[in-house]
Amino acid sequence: MLIQHIRLADREGLWQIRCQDGVITAVEPHDEHAVAGRVLDGEGGLAIAPFIEPHIHLDTTQTAGEPSWNLSGTLFEGIERWAERKALLTHEDVKQRAIQTLKWQIANGIQFVRTHVDVSDPNLVALKAMLEVREEMKEWVELQIVAFPQEGILSYPNGKALLEEALKLGADVIGAIPHFEFTREYGVESLHYIFDLAEKYQVLVDVHCDEIDDEQSRFIETLATLAYERGIGHRVTASHTTAMHSYNGAYASRLFRLLKMADINFVANPLVNIHLQGRFDTYPKRRGITRVKEMLEANINVCFGHDDVFDPWYPMGTANMLQVLHMGLHVCQIMGYEQINDGLKLISSHSARTLNVQDRYGIEVGKPANMLILPAESGFDAVRRQVPVRYSIRHGKVIAQTRPAQTEIVLGQPEPIDFRR
């Protein structure tokens, strides 16, 4: 395949990309007279590496309103509603919903997904279903599965054994939720336990860490210390860390020194964090999202995820990463021109580092021919206009495409509107 008439984020002018046997063989200046068996016209759009979803719960997706709605919109009522729905889980139910949301993600240009799956279940129903989904969908999307102990490791009966069994069955990543354990001591012990298992089974680590407005919740320092001491920071992710929003400046300054030394990754979930946090505040209300702007300034790897799509905790969403990015740029106050123009990195290259897939990610010769064509001139343009994915290409084949919408106003004479300047 020859993909012509495209723009690249880091280069001027128009370019073309040659692909053979699912691999990128050349990235070269556009040539109108180039010959190839199959030619795809990029229509002057922006070619980028695929979007990545670094944090979602596919086992809970598309359950909003089943059997009843979360009327308060709070975290705690969401937990109650999920407990009702969880009692109805079946193998096929989990598979059907997960695959449907994966199809939404594919349509929106996502080709790599990390899903957290609740293993606080003696039968591991959701995990076993998701392992089948990973295999059945691998041609179109690479799925990483986190063994996530939703109700704790030490605070849930047989929590340790269930977590290890999930790894034996084939989970790619081990999780924890230290701030939800019964005591601080349990939380710390749970982190030591998962690092031991991570080394035993050679899996990645992704912890729901300090997802609370309590400024005294500081498990991130234990997580970062363990990652630093064991030399595996690049394989470790701290998800949420919303308590960091409330840390005092002196503590945060000391903490950031450790975070840089540890070299761990962070995931913020702007859509869900901004709506679930601050619920115990009167006014002013905290935003409750981790310190993304400061992390970027400190060259600490951070990316954005959805967390939830159409479930008891977040009743909205279409699995569109540009919606996530749009919210994140606003609530994190990273709205300078260059910050917006570089914003796509928060849902692409930064996420690739988090998922540890850099060896097979990016528009470079020798890497898999996985990319998106966006109908935009730049990253800034794509984010501002929230453009759809014109083409999603995987292993040199188009797996999703969106035909451009046409808007016209009639103020005397018909006039097309594309929201460009």
Residues with Cβ < 8 Å from 249, sequence gap 6 or more? none
Q: What is the pLDDT along the chain (421 residues), one digit of tens a residue?
A: 999 999 999 899 999 999 999 999 999 999 988 877 899 999 999 999 999 999 999 999 999 999 999 999 998 899 899 989 999 999 999 999 999 999 999 999 999 999 999 999 999 999 999 999 999 999 999 999 999 999 999 999 999 999 999 999 999 999 999 999 999 999 999 999 999 999 999 999 999 999 999 999 999 999 999 999 999 999 999 999 999 999 999 999 999 999 999 999 999 999 999 999 999 999 999 999 999 999 999 999 999 999 999 999 999 999 999 999 999 999 999 999 999 999 999 999 999 999 999 999 999 999 999 999 999 999 999 999 999 999 999 999 999 999 989 999 999 999 999 999 8
Type of residue numbered 87:
A
DSSP letter for each residue of 223-281: HHHHHHHHT-GGGEEEEE-GGGGGS-HHHHHHHHHHHHHHT-EEEE-HHHHHHHTTTT-
How long a stretch of residues is the chain? 421
350, 303 Cβ separation under 8 angstroms? yes
DSSP 66: S
**Secondary-structure percent of the chain, ordered helix, strand, coil, rounded to 5:** 40, 25, 40
Domain annotation for the chain: domains and CATH numbers: 2-49+362-407 (2.30.40.10), 51-358 (3.20.20.140)
pTM beyond 0.95: the answer is yes
Q: Would you state the pLDDT for residue 30?
A: 94
Q: Would you state the pLDDT for residue 187?
A: 99
208, 177 Cβ separation under 8 angstroms? yes
Residues with Cβ < 8 Å from 311, sequence gap 6 or more? 57, 60, 61, 62, 63, 64, 78, 82
Q: Would you state the pLDDT for residue 75?
A: 87
Type of residue numbered 107:
A
Q: Would you state the pLDDT for residue 151?
A: 94
Q: Which residue has the tokens 């970062």?
A: 224
Residues with Cβ < 8 Å from 107, sequence gap 6 or more? 319, 389, 392, 400, 402
CA angle 339, 10, 330 (to 5 degrees): 15
Q: Would you state the pLDDT for residue 37?
A: 82
DSSP 309: S
Q: Would you state the pLDDT for residue 350?
A: 99
Q: Would you state the pLDDT for residue 203?
A: 99
Q: Would you state the pLDDT for residue 53?
A: 99
Which positions are annotated as active-site residues? 211
Sort residue 27 into left (φ over 0), alpha (ψ -120 to 50) or beta: beta
Q: Would you state the pLDDT for residue 199?
A: 98
